[in-house]
Amino acid sequence: MDNQTLKDNWQTYCNKPSIWHNKFHLEMPFGLVNDPNGLCVYNGKYQIFYQWNPTGCQHINKHWGYTTTTDFINYSIPQLALAPIDDFDKNGCYSGSARVNNNRLELVYTANLKDANNIRYPRQVLAIKNDDGSFSKKEILVDDVPSGYTTHFRDPYLFKHSNRSFFIIGAKRENLTGCALIYEEVNNAWQLRGELKTDYKDFGYMWECPNFINIDGHDVLIFCPQGIKAQGHKYNNIYQAGYLIGKFNPDTLEFTHGEFQELDHGFDFYAPQVLVNKNRNILIGWIGMPEKESEYPTTNEGWIYSLTMPRELHIKNNIIYQTPVQELNALNKNNETYLNCQDLILNTPCKITLDIDMTDKNYWQGDFEIGGDILKLSFDKNTQEFCVNRDDLSLGGKGKRYFTVSVKEKLHLDIYIDTSVMEIYYQDGEAVATSCYYAKEKLSAIPVKTNIPTSITVSQLNSIEFN
Ligand code: FRU
């Protein structure tokens, strides 16, 4: 596949009949998409890269796909920016990040190489965007794995702190515990500074996709620990994506921080990356889960996984609040509000806003009929737990996810419903849950019932566009 072919045939690929393709979530018409990569602003445009196997729905042959946007609604036709065709990256151009340095767009990614015995040789590589729009791999920045660590060493994330340039990278120690290492750029060379010192010394066996950012004056580590056991309703997905809020000392690498909190409470969320644009932090996550491919029937249509809506991040009361970037309001076609409503028929794609008065009520339940199956959402005021229940769905992953949201009187929900993805925002972003759902046949409508008469505002949404 080359970029000219992609460009010439894009609309044809997108017009292929599909039951499940989403309308306002970024996804590819074929192949496998996973982590967002290289998020930054360059020449006034948001640069969005992502892991893409354009040749099938397996986790192999990882390229970097590439699109740009100024408004998160109109995207350039996706291209392939990096292909795993060199000796050092033939087993995949794995995740990484980007920055603009002297007006040049620079990408840093993990070149994945495995030998005949499946031993990994990860290298951290610099690539740049050329004037003609193509990308060139320029230089191996880090050629080896530091001693004390295994070859699970990947996903460099570039960041600035105290006017100094760093990247943080995910690692697995030789004692099989996960951590993140910090490199600093000094006189144009990348030097290993050491481990980020956190209180989580034995927290999973590998930390994937670390991000280090500043939100509203707080230093924040976002990372994806693997190997955390479920604890009651916490950590129920195979791998987690969460964060620590604190303060970083770039001289000692000490990070004093609070407790690990999950970023998203749905079934399908992993490997998020944050785009830093001055003081604005915009997070995009992968809607999918490693090692759970069998839960996604879209492979029958030749594609798998999507990216979340871009979300702006703020911190209140030691929690990261996430809300879809305000640019997405332009997707709204019309708004209609139904008062005291208990039954409604929805057409996707849409957003619905519910204001549920729990003053005299202990339990709310919303049933969403997905082609004869029911996706159930509920909230129990006594336990303050919200539940997303997919047990009744015939296709895709099943189970329940519970999480706490603080509600005294009003439960406020903004639910973004795409063809096969639902992103639910609670109490103006205090919690988010992203989950896939699959109708057995092409959905014509979603009948919704709620046990408490409720104000419901429905907005039909437009699709994002590629042009
Ligand atoms: C996370 C991850 C990264 C790796 C990439 C490969 O989902 O496993 O650690 O770089 O995906 O696609």
pLDDT at position 335 is: 94
**pLDDT tens-digit profile of 451-461?**
999 999 999 99
How close is the Cα of 95 to the center of ligand 1, in Å?
6
Atom 9 (ligand 1) nearest CA: 208
pLDDT at position 270 is: 98
Q: Which two tokens stand for residue 36?
A: 């967002």
Atom 8 (ligand 1) nearest CA: 208
Pocket around ligand 1 at a 6 A CB cut-off: 34-35, 51, 62, 94-95, 110, 154-155, 208-209, 270-271, 290
pLDDT at position 67 is: 98
Task: Out of 94, 107, 211, 269, give the residue to mutate to test ligand 1, the one with the largest number of ligand atoms within 8 Å of its CB.
Answer: 94
pLDDT at position 141 is: 98
pLDDT at position 363 is: 97
Who has greater pLDDT, 279 or 98? 98
Closest Cα partner for 456 from 329, 288, 335?
A: 335
Query: Which atom number of ligand 1 is nearest to the Cα of residue 270?
Result: 7
How close is the Cα of 138 to the center of ligand 1, in Å?
22
pLDDT at position 176 is: 98
pLDDT bucket at 1, cuts 50 / 70 / 90: confident
Query: Which atom number of ligand 1 is nearest to the Cα of residue 94?
Result: 10
Q: What percent of the chain has pLDDT above 90? A: 99
Please check the confidence at residue 149 and state whether its pLDDT lies above 90.
yes
Please check the confidence at residue 294 and state whether its pLDDT lies above 90.
yes
Q: Which pTM value belongs to this model?
A: 0.98
**pLDDT tens-digit profile of 375-395?**
999 999 999 999 999 999 999
Average pLDDT of 127-150? 97
pLDDT bucket at 53, cuts 50 / 70 / 90: very high
How close is the Cα of 35 to the center of ligand 1, in Å?
7
**pLDDT tens-digit profile of 308-323?**
999 999 999 999 999 9
List b or e across 389-419, with b for residues whose CB sees 16 or more CB atoms inside 10 angstroms: bbeebebbbeeebbbebebeeebebbbbbbb
> Could you confirm whether 35 is annotated as catalytic?
yes
pLDDT at position 64 is: 98
With beta carbons less than 8 A apart as the criterion, state whether 36 and 269 touch: no
Average pLDDT of 251-255? 98
Please check the confidence at residue 279 and state whether its pLDDT lies above 90.
no
Please check the confidence at residue 302 and state whether its pLDDT lies above 90.
yes
Please check the confidence at residue 349 and state whether its pLDDT lies above 90.
yes
Please check the confidence at residue 409 and state whether its pLDDT lies above 90.
yes
Q: Which two tokens stand for residue 370?
A: 């997905």
Catalytic option among 2, 35, 251, 360? 35
φ, ψ dihedrals at 281, nearest 5°: -115, 120
Query: Tell me, what amino acid is at 424?
Result: I
- Mean pLDDT (the chain) is 97
**pLDDT tens-digit profile of 357-378?**
999 999 999 999 999 999 999 9
pLDDT at position 146 is: 98
Please check the confidence at residue 281 and state whether its pLDDT lies above 90.
yes
**pLDDT tens-digit profile of 189-229?**
999 999 999 999 999 999 999 999 999 999 999 999 999 99
